[in-house]
């Protein structure tokens, strides 16, 4: 078994308007199959991916937000949200559909520094 690497997925886009959020989720699930140390971070408009209550019937698009709740079933438990990004959007932890760790922008930077591989979406 080769050495476990630290993978970080950086999510900065809102869902539905572009394909980035869904594509990130797909790659995260693939990575989970390789038993690596995976962290997901949500900053800027990426925090919108975790907003509770998404109802996509009206835009005839698949609502993929329930998949974030299934991530712990794939041993992906490290979810981080940047505090400043959340506040700029009038959101709090109660508005999010999963439990996350809230980080300041400085803490986010430190966490990013510690990674072996950073993938940006």
Partner 1 sequence: MLHIINKSPLTNGALDSCLRVAQSGDILLIEDAVVAATTGNVCAAKLQEAMGRCKVYVLQPDLDARGFGDRLLEGVSSVDYGGFVELTASNKNCQSWL
Q: Would you tell me which residues interact with partner 1 (CB under 8 A)?
A: 12-18, 44-45, 48, 51-59, 61, 63, 65, 88-91, 95
Closest distance of CB 90 from partner 1, Å: 2
Q: Which is nearer to partner 1, 88 or 117 (CB)?
A: 88
User: Which DSSP string do the residues of 14-71 spell out, in sequence order?
Assistant: -TTTSSHHHHHHHHHHHHHTTT-EEEEEE-GGGGGGGBTT---GGGT----THHHHTG
Closest distance of CB 91 from partner 1, Å: 7
Q: Which is nearer to partner 1, 58 or 73 (CB)?
A: 58
Strands 6-11 and 37-42 turn out to be parallel
Strands 117-120 and 101-103 turn out to be unpaired
Closest distance of CB 50 from partner 1, Å: 9
């Amino acid at each position: 078994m080769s050495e476990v690497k630290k993978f970080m997925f950086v999510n900065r886009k809102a869902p539905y308007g572009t394909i980035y959020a869904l594509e990130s989720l797909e790659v995260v699930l693939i990575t989970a199959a390789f038993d690596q140390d995976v962290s997901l971070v949500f900053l800027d408009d990426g925090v919108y991916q975790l907003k509770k209550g998404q109802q996509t019937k009206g835009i005839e698009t698949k609502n993929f937000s329930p998949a974030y709740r299934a991530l712990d079933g794939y041993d992906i438990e490290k979810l981080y949200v940047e505090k400043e990004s959340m506040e700029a959007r009038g959101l709090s932890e109660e508005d999010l559909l999963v439990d996350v760790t809230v980080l300041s922008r400085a803490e986010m930077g430190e966490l990013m520094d510690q990674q072996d591989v950073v993938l940006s979406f």
